[in-house]
Amino acid sequence: MKTTFRTLLVAGAAIILAGCANRGGNDTSAGPAAAMMANATPKVTVAMAQKKVVPQTETYSTTVEAYAVNNIVPQTGGRILKLNVEVGDFVSKGQILAEMDHLQLEQSRLALINDSTELVRFRGLFEEGGVSKSDLEALELNYNVRKSTYQNLLENTILRAPISGVITARNYDKGDMYAMAQPLYVLQQITPVKLLVGISESDYTKVKRGDVVDITADALPGKTFTGKVNRIYPTVNSMTHTVNVEVLVTNNDRQLRPGMYAKALVNFESNYSVTVPEGAVTKQQGSGQRAVYVLAAGNTAEIRTVTLGRHFGTDYEILSGISEGETVITKGQTSLKGGDVVEVVD
C-alpha cells in the first residue's frame, strides 16, 4: 500500500514538472517574436526635393461695391411735383429724375428776364452818355447774381442724373413735402463696379496699378470676371496689417451687383523655388512649426524645421530648411524620431 502511494506521488510530481516545462518553453518561443516586432525597421516612401515654377497667387474675400453713389436731393424743402423713375430703373447721365414745385423757379425766371431787358436799356443809355459807368456796372452785377440764382433754382427744381447708373432707393412719393431727411433717390453707378481687396502688408509691394485680377462671385457660379488694379491706398490698417487695393471691373453686362460676396484671385507673378510633395510636411506637436524628414546617410531619418510658401496642386513651396536634390520622406514618418533607421520601399 505504501509502495503504491509513493508511486502515485512521484507520478503527480512528474506531471506538474512537465506542465511547468511546457509553460517555460512557450515563453521562450514568444520572446524572440516580440523582440523582432519591437525592433522592426520602419518602412517609408521617399521623393526628391526639386525646384519648380511656383505661381504666387492668393485668394481674397471681398464685396462688390458701386463705383459711385449719388444721393439725389434738392437744396431746400418743397413740394415734389414729379417722380419720373422707379427702383431698378437704369438711367443715363442728364436724364430728368424728379421735379419740385416750379413757383420759385418761375418767379426767378421772370425777374431774370426783367433784369436782362433793363440791362440792354442801360447799355444804350451808357453809349449815349445818359448813365454813368458805375450805374451800368451795378446793373450788370445785379443781373449776374440774378442769373446765378436762377441757374441754382433750375438745378434744384428739375433734378437730373449726375451719372449713368441704377436707381437703388426711392424714399418719397409724388406730392410729398420734401423734408430734407432722406434723399429722393439713391443712384449707383455699376458700370464699372469696384472691389476693395485687403492685401497683406508683406505682399502689397508686389501689386502694381494695372495688374489683372480674376473675380468670381458666389451668386454667379462658373463665371470669372476680369478686373484691374486701379488704386493702391497709401496706408496700412494697424488692426489687420493689410493695405486696401481698389480693383475695377467694367461690368458692361451688369451681372455684378453692389453687395455681392466675391473672391479676388491676385497673381504676384511666380517664384522658382524648392518644392516637396504635401505628404512630406508634418506639424510638430506643441510648437505648431512645420517639419520634413530628410533621408540622411545610413538611411537615417533627419528632422528639419521648414518655412512653407505657397501650396499649389499636391506640392508645397519650401522657403527654407530643404535644399534642391535632398531626399524627403513622404509616407511612414508619423511615428519616426530623428536618427531612426528606415527602410525605403517603392
**Assigned domain for 96 exists:** yes
* Same domain, yes or no: 47 and 100: no
pTM recorded for the entire structure: 0.69
* Same domain, yes or no: 250 and 289: no
**Assigned domain for 85 exists:** yes
Which residues in 37-119 belong to E strands, given as ranges? 43-48, 50-72, 78-83, 90-91, 96-100
Q: Mention every residue, 6+ apart, whose C-beta is less than 8 A from residue 169.
A: 87, 183, 185, 186
* Same domain, yes or no: 151 and 231: no
**Assigned domain for 212 exists:** yes
Q: Are 97 and 185 in contact (CB under 8 A)?
A: yes
* Same domain, yes or no: 165 and 81: yes
**Assigned domain for 240 exists:** yes
**Assigned domain for 127 exists:** yes
Q: Mention every residue, 6+ apart, whose C-beta is less than 8 A from residue 145.
A: none
**Assigned domain for 183 exists:** no
* Same domain, yes or no: 50 and 82: no
Number of domains in the chain: 3
* Same domain, yes or no: 228 and 242: yes
**Assigned domain for 285 exists:** yes
* Same domain, yes or no: 243 and 196: yes
Q: What span, in angstroms and rounded, lies between the C-alpha atoms of 53 and 73?
A: 56
The DSSP line for 250-295 is --TT--S-TT-EEEEEEEEEEEEEEEEEGGGEEE-TTT--EEEEEE
* Same domain, yes or no: 95 and 173: yes
Q: What span, in angstroms and rounded, lies between the C-alpha atoms of 178 and 145?
A: 26
* Same domain, yes or no: 145 and 83: yes
Q: Coil, helix or strand for 51?
A: strand
Q: What residues make up the domain containing 111?
A: 74-178
**Assigned domain for 138 exists:** yes
* Same domain, yes or no: 203 and 222: yes
Domain finish residue from 178, 211, 238:
178
Q: Alpha helices of 84-175 — where are they, by DSSP H? A: 103-128, 133-157
* Same domain, yes or no: 173 and 206: no
Q: What span, in angstroms and rounded, lies between the C-alpha atoms of 176 and 99?
A: 12
**Residue 227's CATH number:** 2.40.30.170
**Residue 116's CATH number:** 2.40.50.100
**Residue 296's CATH number:** 2.40.420.20
Q: Are 306 and 255 in contact (CB under 8 A)?
A: no
Q: What span, in angstroms and rounded, lies between the C-alpha atoms of 17 and 337?
A: 46
Domain finish residue from 160, 178, 196:
178
Q: Are 248 and 228 in contact (CB under 8 A)?
A: yes
The Cα-based distances of 255 to 182, 223, 260 in angstroms read 28, 10, 10
Q: Tell me, what amino acid is at 37?
A: M
pLDDT in tens, 145-169: 999 999 999 999 999 999 999 999 9
Tens of pLDDT along the chain (346 residues)? 444 444 444 444 444 444 444 444 444 444 554 444 456 889 999 999 999 999 888 899 999 999 999 999 999 999 999 999 999 999 999 999 999 999 999 999 999 999 999 999 988 888 888 888 898 899 999 999 999 999 999 999 999 999 999 999 999 999 999 988 899 999 999 999 999 999 999 888 999 999 999 999 999 999 999 999 999 999 999 999 999 999 999 999 999 999 999 999 999 888 899 999 999 999 887 777 999 999 999 999 999 999 999 888 899 999 999 999 999 999 998 888 889 999 999 7
Residue 307: name the closest of 330, 326, 296, 291 by CA: 291
The Cα-based distances of 198 to 9, 61, 266, 296 in angstroms read 94, 9, 11, 43
Domain finish residue from 178, 208, 237:
178
* Same domain, yes or no: 263 and 299: no
pLDDT in tens, 283-332: 887 777 999 999 999 999 999 999 999 888 899 999 999 999 999 999 99
